[in-house]
């Protein structure tokens, strides 16, 4: 059963109070003074962005933002939240939907004060000494570079419709971009001036039609979402959205390549936000890896808000000792049993982690608390960036897993980034493996969901995946999914082979599994959309000794309630559910390892 949203805990509502405004002023003071002295210098600085972590605030202000608020207001409020959290960690939290309320409850935190959006923006504009002026109605397609300039300058982005006074105009986008009035030209103009002051890259769609008749030339059909804007401002990210930035021969692709390869960022470059351009049965460039000839990109899907709050209110998690978890199964391999690991997918998407997957785990907690339950081992994929960008949220997942005693975790596709690792250039593959191993150690996991692109799986099996098979390495289980998922990843494997064991150069072994996905339950497709009974029958019919897995995604209507919770009670006795880590260990044992 889906639980109804939690009610907001009692708070001290302080609207228009001197105390609330004074608190915000104190938090802005240090950055405001710096910005007032350096607005001119910021426009020409060649130094890359190197900002110290802000000192966490002792309390925070809650800002109420109506989901129907005009886009210019929402963008300005989110930008101000990012500026405040950049100055004083975790000092401003924006509530605009039920999930925002629920996380305050789950984390048991309460604001010192609550302000309305207009009141908060007025206080922010008076406390931060500079702004970026722009015209939302005329410049919506140019908003990503406009927000980049504002983030680099630490200035509030103000559309004229807001009627908010500005002390110092640090960047007048209306005049400065008048001769650069396309996304290509505006992005180049801002890149030339502010690229060196940014700390990373983000994709922010300004409102293009997602299913346009001409994918290369979509119209602006909706307001720009305020997703991630607070994080862009707290981290000084370079935001862009070039619809044809991945299309060969297009000037936007040439510029995108210049920005990526000239940016002061380590490679492979992680791209925050989401590239939802070119919807053609799926977003063609969402993983970014194959976008440029340099093959040095990976995605960090983060179309959500309040990351500036979560990422600055406390120190990051840096070791598995900070995340106590359930001990894995230790029983030896039994050739009379069939072992199956179920993995909840898409955990690389931080927006899912903060919304639907949170709801699923709460359903899981309720189910496991019942006398008649389905509380068998279940593994959740989790973004490896949560230790840094939302450590409190990550701790909640681990704390919830300990409450059931049967929930476990695995790295999501494809480890450190959502990417196609076999398509990365050689030197970036090595760095990617190093970062993924580090992520696995922090999360205390030994498995990874691995996505690669059609036609690259021979290379993945022969060259890339064995990189993880090293003595002392963290990864021991690889759980693959082909892109596009409808096509078999390993057609050269014998039909009965549901896993293989790869051996690294030093003799270390790891298990690689054949993809098996569960996306819906309406039985219209026996492979991807089987009913719980059909899948239970399939698993029960596997030969004794089988070790396999099932990857669960929600894009075909699957939920935890209509799939796993029902299926568990339908399995025959010889089918034993295990965690992903245990499945990898058993697969190696079954192969004589």
Q: Quote the percentage of the chain above a pLDDT of 70.
A: 91
Predicted confidence (pLDDT) at residue 17 exceeds the cutoff of 50: no
Q: 462-516 pLDDT, tens per residue?
A: 999 999 999 999 999 999 999 999 999 999 999 999 999 999 999 999 999 999 9
CA distance 208 to 183: 12
Q: Quote the percentage of the chain above a pLDDT of 90.
A: 88
* pLDDT number for residue 592: 84
Predicted confidence (pLDDT) at residue 371 exceeds the cutoff of 90: yes
- The confidence band for 279, taking pLDDT boundaries of 50, 70 and 90, is confident
Single out the residue of 24, 272, 294 nearest to residue 144, CA to CA: 272
Higher pLDDT, 212 or 32: 212
Give the chain's mean pLDDT. 91
Q: 503-519 pLDDT, tens per residue?
A: 999 999 999 999 999 99
Mean pLDDT over 178-196 rounds to: 98
Q: 540-592 pLDDT, tens per residue?
A: 999 999 999 999 999 999 999 999 999 999 999 999 999 999 999 999 999 98
Give the residue extent of every domain in the chain.
Answer: 18-312, 320-590
CA distance 229 to 394: 21
Predicted confidence (pLDDT) at residue 451 exceeds the cutoff of 60: yes
Predicted confidence (pLDDT) at residue 42 exceeds the cutoff of 90: no
CATH topology of domain 320-590: TIM Barrel (3.20.20)
3 state DSSP class of 32: helix
* pLDDT number for residue 280: 83
* pLDDT number for residue 593: 64
Residue with tokens 């690792």: 421
Predicted confidence (pLDDT) at residue 46 exceeds the cutoff of 60: no
Contact 168, 129 (CB under 8 A): yes
339-371 as b/e: b if 16+ CB within 10 A = bbbbbbbbbbbbbbbbbbbbbbbbbbbebbeee
Q: 125-163 pLDDT, tens per residue?
A: 999 989 999 999 999 999 999 999 999 999 999 999 999
* pLDDT number for residue 180: 98
* pLDDT number for residue 440: 98
């Amino acid at each position: 059963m889906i639980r109804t949203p939690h009610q907001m805990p009692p708070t001290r509502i302080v609207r228009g109070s001197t105390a609330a405004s004074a608190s915000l002023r104190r938090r802005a003071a240090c950055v405001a003074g710096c910005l007032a002295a350096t607005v001119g210098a910021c426009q020409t600085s060649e130094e890359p962005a190197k900002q110290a972590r802000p000192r966490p605030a002792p309390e925070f202000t809650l800002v109420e933002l109506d989901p129907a608020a005009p886009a210019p207001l929402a963008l300005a409020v989110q930008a101000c939240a990012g500026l405040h959290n950049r100055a004083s960690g975790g000092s401003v939290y924006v509530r605009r939907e039920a999930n925002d309320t629920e996380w305050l409850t789950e984390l048991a935190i309460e604001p010192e004060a609550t302000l309305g959006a207009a009141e908060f923006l007025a206080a922010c504009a008076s406390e931060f000494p500079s702004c970026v002026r722009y015209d939302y109605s005329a410049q919506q397609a140019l908003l990503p570079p406009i927000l980049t300039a504002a983030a680099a300058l630490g200035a509030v982005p103000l559309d004229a419709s807001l009627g908010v006074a500005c002390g110092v105009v640090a960047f007048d986008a209306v005049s400065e971009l008048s001769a650069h009035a396309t996304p290509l030209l505006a992005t180049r103009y801002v890149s030339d001036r502010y690229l060196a002051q940014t700390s990373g890259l983000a994709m922010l769609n300004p409102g293009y039609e997602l299913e346009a008749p001409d994918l290369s030339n979509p119209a602006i059909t909706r307001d720009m979402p305020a997703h991630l804007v607070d994080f862009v401002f707290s981290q000084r990210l370079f935001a862009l959205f070039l619809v044809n930035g991945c299309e060969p021969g297009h000037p936007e692709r040439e510029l995108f390549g210049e920005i990526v390869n000239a940016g002061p960022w380590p490679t492979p470059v992680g791209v925050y936000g989401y590239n939802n351009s070119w919807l053609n049965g799926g977003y063609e460039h969402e993983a970014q890896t194959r976008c440029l000839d340099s093959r040095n990109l990976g995605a960090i899907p983060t179309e959500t808000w309040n990351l500036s709050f979560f990422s600055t209110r406390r120190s990051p998690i840096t070791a598995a000792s900070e995340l106590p978890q359930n001990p894995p199964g230790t029983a030896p391999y039994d050739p009379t049993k069939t072992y199956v690991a179920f993995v909840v997918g898409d955990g690389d998407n931080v927006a899912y982690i903060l919304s639907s997957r949170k709801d699923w785990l709460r359903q899981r907690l309720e189910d496991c608390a019942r006398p008649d339950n389905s509380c068998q081992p279940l593994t959740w994929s989790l973004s490896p960036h949560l230790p840094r960008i939302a450590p409190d949220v990550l701790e909640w997942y681990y704390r919830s897993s300990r409450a059931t005693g049967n929930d476990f975790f695995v790295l999501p596709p494809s480890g450190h980034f959502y990417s196609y690792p076999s398509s990365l250039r050689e030197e970036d593959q090595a760095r990617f493996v190093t970062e993924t191993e580090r992520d696995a150690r922090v999360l205390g996991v030994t498995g990874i969901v691995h996505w690669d692109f059609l036609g690259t799986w021979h290379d993945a099996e022969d060259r890339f995946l064995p990189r993880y098979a090293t003595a002392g390495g963290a990864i021991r289980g690889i759980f693959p999914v082909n892109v596009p998922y409808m096509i078999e990843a390993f057609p050269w494997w014998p039909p009965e082979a549901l896993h293989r064991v790869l051996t690294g150069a030093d003799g270390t072994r790891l298990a690689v599994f054949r993809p098996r996905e569960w996306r819906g339950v309406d039985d219209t497709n026996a492979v991807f959309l089987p009913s719980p009974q059909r899948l239970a029958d399939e698993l029960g019919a596997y030969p004794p000794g089988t070790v396999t897995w099932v990857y669960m995604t929600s894009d075909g209507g699957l939920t935890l309630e209509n799939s796993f919770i029902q299926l568990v009670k339908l399995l025959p006795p010889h089918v034993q559910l295990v965690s992903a880590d245990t499945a990898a260990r058993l697969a190696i044992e079954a192969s004589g390892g």
